[in-house]
Structure 1
């Protein structure tokens, strides 16, 4: 009966540690619980067996747990869960920095009241002050606020 309890504790601890490393990485709750169960198994070994046998059981448990951790880190499972790109854009990312109030341009689409206009050969989305403006009409920037270009 003692061997069944000891092997159950050590095996459950090892399975929980492997589950942490392979299936639910980053939560640490399962891994900490697995290490606690393994330590309980080692403590049970020292209470139930001679010290020499308990030290052998401890050595085997440590080797198996370290092997599980090393395998988990070398298996590449962490690469599936890690972020590989970063968000670089934003609401105010400098698109309108080259524009100035009073700058002339020409519409490249109808403004109804939103459309496209070209300023210095770069096309921007603009909003008209007075509603509809047909395509190929000369416009002037009257306001730039929060990446909204207001033209007339």
Structure 2
């Protein structure tokens, strides 16, 4: 019965440690619980067996737990959780290149006060200077600042 309890504690601790490293990395709760169960198994070995046997059990448990951690880090499981792409673009990424003050265009949606307008066959999001402007109305660019286009 003692060997069954000891092996159960050590195996459960090892499984929890592997689960932490492979399946739920970053939470540390499962890993700490697995380490605590493994340590409880080692303490149980010292209480139940002679010192030489307990040290053998301790060394085997340490080797298996370290092997589980090393395997977890070298298995590439962390690659599934890492960011592989970066965001492109930004605030001033050239969306308004080709537009000039005084340029004429036509609204393709109602401006309430923000909507869409077409300039040189390209569609831009614009803001009206005076509130509502209905669809298919001629507009003129009066200000371009920080990718914001103000029309009247």
Taking structure 2 as the reference length, what is the TM-score of the superposition?
A: 0.76
Q: Whole-Å Cα distance in 1 between the matches of residues 32 and 15 of structure 2?
A: 12
Q: Whole-Å Cα distance in 1 between the matches of residues 96 and 125 of structure 2?
A: 14
1:6 corresponds to 2:6: yes
Matched residues, number: 145
Q: Deviation string for 1:28-73 (max 9, x for gaps)? A: 1010000001011111111111111111111100110011111111
Q: Whole-Å Cα distance in 1 between the matches of residues 51 and 26 of structure 2?
A: 36
Please state how far the C-alpha of 1:128 moved relative to its aligned partner: 3.5
Structure 2 equivalent of residue 132 of structure 1: 134
Structure 2 equivalent of residue 47 of structure 1: 47
Structure 2 equivalent of residue 65 of structure 1: 65
Q: 1:123 to 1:104 in 2, by over 3 A?
A: farther
Q: Whole-Å Cα distance in 2 between the matches of residues 106 and 55 of structure 1?
A: 86
Q: Whole-Å Cα distance in 2 between the matches of residues 10 and 133 of structure 1?
A: 73
The one of 104, 107, 113 equivalent to 2:102 is 104
> Tell me, which stretches of 5 or more residues in structure 1 are unaligned?
none
